[in-house]
C-alpha cells in the first residue's frame, strides 16, 4: 500500500489510538514537553505508542514535534502520549513559558553604549 500525495499514511489516525478519541487528562497542550521515563517498554505496547516512545529515546519533544515525526495529527499523539503517561512510560511537563517582556530603557542604554563604543 502506498501513501497519498501529501505523504500522509492511509491508516486513519483513530486506528493508531485504538479508537480512543479523547485523552483522559486535560492538562496536556500542543507545546507540552514529553520525556521518556526510562522504564523498559512492555511487549504488549501498541505500535503507535512504541513509535512515540522510540522517538523519545533521543530526547525530549513537544507534542507538536512528536506529531510531525510520527506523521500523525496532534490530537492522535495527544491520546498516545496520555496512554503512555498513564503507564508511567512518559513524563510530561507544561510548556516553557515565554520570556518576560524586555525592559525598553535597558535596551536603549545598551544601544547607546554600543554607539559610543563604535565612535571611539
Q: Does the residue 106 lie in any domain?
A: yes
Q: Does the residue 97 lie in any domain?
A: yes
Q: Does the residue 84 lie in any domain?
A: yes
pTM reported for the whole predicted model: 0.66
Domain that holds residue 25: 14-119
Number of domains in the chain: 1
Up-side HSE of residue 98: CA atoms within 13 Å toward CB? Answer: 3
Q: Does the residue 32 lie in any domain?
A: yes
Q: Does the residue 86 lie in any domain?
A: yes
62-94: per-residue pLDDT in tens?
999 999 999 888 888 998 898 899 899 999 998
Contact 48, 81 (CB under 8 A): no
CB neighbours of residue 28 within 10 Å: 20
Q: Does the residue 61 lie in any domain?
A: yes
4-50: per-residue pLDDT in tens?
555 555 555 656 666 565 666 667 888 999 999 988 889 989 888 99
Instruction: Convert 39-54 into a string of H (helix), E (strand) and C (coil).
Output: CCCCCCCCHHHHHHHH
Q: Does the residue 74 lie in any domain?
A: yes
Amino acid at each position: 500500500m502506498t501513501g497519498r500525495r501529501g505523504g500522509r499514511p492511509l491508516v486513519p489516525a483513530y486506528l493508531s489510538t485504538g479508537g480512543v478519541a479523547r485523552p483522559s487528562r486535560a492538562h496536556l497542550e500542543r507545546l507540552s514537553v514529553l520525556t521518556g521515563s526510562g522504564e523498559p517498554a512492555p511487549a504488549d505496547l501498541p505500535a503507535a505508542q512504541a513509535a512515540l516512545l522510540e522517538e523519545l529515546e533521543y530526547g525530549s519533544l513537544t507534542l507538536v514535534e512528536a506529531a510531525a515525526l510520527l506523521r500523525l495529527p496532534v490530537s492522535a499523539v495527544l491520546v498516545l502520549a496520555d496512554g503512555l503517561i498513564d503507564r508511567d512510560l512518559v513524563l510530561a511537563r507544561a510548556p516553557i513559558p515565554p520570556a518576560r517582556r524586555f525592559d525598553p530603557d535597558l535596551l536603549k542604554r545598551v544601544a547607546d553604549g554600543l554607539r559610543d563604543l563604535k565612535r571611539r
